[in-house]
Every structure is written in structure tokens, then in C-alpha cells.
């Protein structure tokens, strides 16, 4: 038996089309949605990601400004840039690409992004509001996980969802999004003992560890639905997920890498920018 493939391409195309149709329908003279992407790295994967956001934005009619501060940017410069963009009337949404210089973490800067412009949920206020069941922008990748499950009508209520990975950008926000949909949620991480025993109890398994081949057929309950968030470089220069390809013989359905969560993430970012630009009557999100 081979698992059904939960491609993200169709859903991503639908989301992009809806964004571009709504932008095309904006009244003449109305401000266009503007996404500011702050980057300070030459990391290849990050550079590729920023380019793909800029290109998807251009196609959808979202103006995307990439602010490249260079890999030697100091924390002060990064902070000042994010604060200025948060204050700028003309900017609808802001994201900071990772990695950041030195040992800088996104969590060190997220609070500088106005929550109303925090289209990738980097401000701790956004995560807190999400946890409290209030309106907030969720990190686009975590939201892509649940949107993909919903698109394929995977029943979540009362089902056991196991997330492997507890990062602030994927694992933790995914907990709240899955709980909101009435799943019973377990989170595993690098210190979890007996990982296969836990993941084998999952009806829905979200792999977000960033380790290629971490989850093998032995980790998967027959028929389980798997969303593979991992994007790991493979020796042939491509990207692979966290789930071993042989696991597809056990799973009921699995999202591919590439072509699963990734394109949905980018499309959701654009949708968030449009929301940030057009829902100017607060409260949104604060
Ligand atoms: P991270 O390194 O911040 O977090 C990884 C998490 O996995 C940690 O919580 C860690 O405890 C856990 N983990 C690591 N090794 C483990 C192991 N052997 N067993 C169990 N748990 C383990 O990474 P992240 O930013 O959350 O990203 C996770 C993956 O998702 C990466 O491959 C990343 O490239 C990918 N990602 C994809 C998208 C997308 O749009 N497709 C977006 C963001 C991240």
C-alpha cells in the first residue's frame, strides 16, 4: 500500500489566486499591501526562501521590499530597522529572515515587530494571543500544517495529533492550532524518550524536527496521516523531509517535501499581508 500524497500545490495556488483577486479588486488609489522582508545572511536556503517569497508576492500583487542588512549587521541596526518598519505607515507586514548574524535568534527581535504587522507570528505577543484563543497571526508554517489537513478533510476532532519538534515557529504554535480543532495533542522533542512508541499512537503525525530520515516506518501507525514540515538538504543538492521514504508504505497519507507545507506557507504569508493591509480597523490582531 502506498500512502496518498497530500500535495500543497493546489491549495497554495487557490490561496494565491484569492489574494491576487482581492488585491485586483481594491479600490483605485487604495494602498497596496506591502511586505518588508529583513534579511542579514548569505545562507543559501534563507536567500532562496526570501527570493521565493518576493517572487510569489510580485505575482500576487503584493509589493515586497527586501531590506538586506548584510551578514555583519549589528543587533542595534537590526532592532532599529524592525522598529522603523513597525512605525512606517506604508508597511503592512514584516518578516525577519533567519538565520540572524552571530547567535542572534528571532526571539531576540520578535517583540520589535508590531503585532498588527507580524505576518509570520514572530512577536511573543502573537504566540501568547494564539495560546489564549485570541486573534493573532500564527507563524505561516504552523498554520500551513492545519490548512493542509483541513484541505484534505482530515478529521481532527478527538484524534491524537503528535508533533515532533517544539520550536516557537512550528511545534508550539501548531499545538494551539491543533487544540483549537479539538485534536488531542502530544509534543515530542530531542529529549523525548521512546519516540517511536509515542509516534506510533498518532492518528496525525507532524514531523518538524529538521532531521532527514528521523521518522521511519517503525515510527508510524498503519494508516496515519503525516505532515512533513522538515526541509533538509540532501546530498544530491535537493531537499528532503524528516520522514523516511519507506514510511510511505505504512502511512495512509503523507505530505511531500518539496511541494507540501512549503508552498502553502508562502501563500499564507501573502494572505496575512493582505489581511494586515486591509483590516486596518483594529482590533486585528491587537
Ligand atoms: P528547530 O531546530 O528550531 O527545532 C527543531 C525541533 O525538533 C526542536 O524542538 C528539537 O527538540 C526537535 N528535534 C530535533 N531533533 C530531534 C530528534 N532527533 N528527535 C525528536 N525531536 C527532535 O527547527 P524549526 O525551525 O522548527 O524547523 C523544523 C524543520 O522544519 C526544519 O527542517 C526546517 O527547515 C523546517 N521548516 C520548514 C518550513 C516550511 O515552510 N516548509 C518553515 C520553517 C521550518
Ligand 1 pocket test, pick from 167, 198, 228 with the greatest ligand atom count within 8 Å of Cβ, gives: 167
Does residue 229 line the site of ligand 1, with CB under 6 A? yes
Is the per-residue pLDDT at 282 higher than 70?
A: no
Beta bridge partners of 94: 36
| 171 in contact with ligand 1, CB cutoff 6 A | yes
Q: Say yes or no: CB of residue 192 within 6 Å of ligand 1.
A: yes
Residue 179, SS3 per DSSP: helix
**C-beta of 209 in contact with ligand 1 (< 6 A):** yes
pLDDT tens-digit map of 140-175: 999 999 999 999 999 999 999 999 999 999 999 999
Q: Kindly state if the Cβ of 105 falls inside 6 Å of ligand 1.
A: no
The finding on whether 210 has its CB within 6 A of some atom of ligand 1 is: yes
Q: What is the CA(174)–ligand 1 centre distance, in A?
A: 12
C-alpha grid cell, residue 162: 503528535
If DSSP codes are grouped into helix, strand and coil, which group holds residue 215? Answer: strand
Q: What is the DSSP string of 95-147?
A: EE-SSPSTT--HHHHGGGS-GGG-TT--SHHHHHHHHTT---PPPHHHHHHHH
Q: Tell me how far the alpha carbon of residue 140 lies from the centroid of ligand 1, in angstroms.
A: 14
Q: Tens digit of pLDDT for each residue in 78-127? A: 999 999 999 999 999 999 999 999 888 999 999 999 999 999 999 999 99
What are the CA-CA distances from residue 250 to residues 3, 146, 161, 201, 204 (Å)?
A: 7, 22, 17, 13, 13
Query: In the chain, pLDDT over 70 holds for what percent of residues?
Result: 97
- The pLDDT value given to residue 1: 61
CA of 58 to the centre of ligand 1 (A): 29
The three-point CA angle 51-214-141 to 5° equals 35
pLDDT, residue 81, reads 98
Amino acid at each position: 500500500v502506498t500512502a496518498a500524497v497530500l500535495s500543497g500545490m493546489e491549495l497554495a495556488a487557490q490561496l494565491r489566486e484569492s489574494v491576487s483577486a482581492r488585491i485586483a479588486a481594491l479600490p483605485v488609489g487604495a494602498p497596496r499591501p506591502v511586505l518588508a522582508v529583513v534579511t542579514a545572511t548569505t545562507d543559501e536556503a534563507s536567500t532562496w526562501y526570501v527570493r521565493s517569497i518576493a517572487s510569489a508576492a510580485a505575482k500576487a500583487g503584493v509589493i515586497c521590499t527586501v531590506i538586506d542588512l548584510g551578514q555583519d549587521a549589528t543587533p542595534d541596526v537590526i532592532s532599529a530597522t524592525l522598529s522603523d518598519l513597525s512605525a512606517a505607515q506604508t508597511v503592512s507586514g514584516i518578516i525577519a529572515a533567519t538565520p540572524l548574524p552571530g547567535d542572534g535568534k528571532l526571539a531576540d527581535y520578535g517583540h520589535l515587530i508590531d503585532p498588527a504587522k507580524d505576518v509570520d507570528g514572530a512577536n511573543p505577543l502573537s504566540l501568547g494571543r494564539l495560546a489564549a484563543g485570541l486573534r493573532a497571526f500564527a507563524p505561516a508554517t504552523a498554520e500551513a500544517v492545519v490548512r493542509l489537513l483541513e484541505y484534505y478533510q482530515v478529521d481532527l476532532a478527538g484524534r491524537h495529533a503528535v508533533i515532533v519538534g517544539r520550536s516557537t515557529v512550528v511545534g508550539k504554535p501548531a499545538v494551539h492550532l491543533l487544540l483549537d480543532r479539538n485534536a488531542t495533542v502530544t509534543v515530542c522533542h530531542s529529549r523525548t524518550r521512546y519516540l517511536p512508541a509515542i509516534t506510533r499512537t498518532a492518528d496525525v503525525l507532524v514531523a518538524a524536527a529538521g532531521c532527514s530520515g528521523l521518522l521511519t516506518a517503525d515510527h508510524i501507525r498503519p494508516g496515519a496521516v503525516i505532515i512533513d514540515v522538515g526541509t533538509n538538504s540532501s546530498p544530491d543538492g535537493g531537499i528532503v523531509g524528516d520522514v523516511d521514504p519507506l514510511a510511505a508504505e505504512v502511512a495512509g497519507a503523507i505530505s511531500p517535501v518539496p511541494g507540501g507545507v512549503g508552498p502553502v506557507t508562502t501563500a499564507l504569508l501573502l494572505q496575512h499581508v493582505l489581511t494586515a493591509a486591509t483590516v486596518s480597523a483594529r482590533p486585528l490582531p491587537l
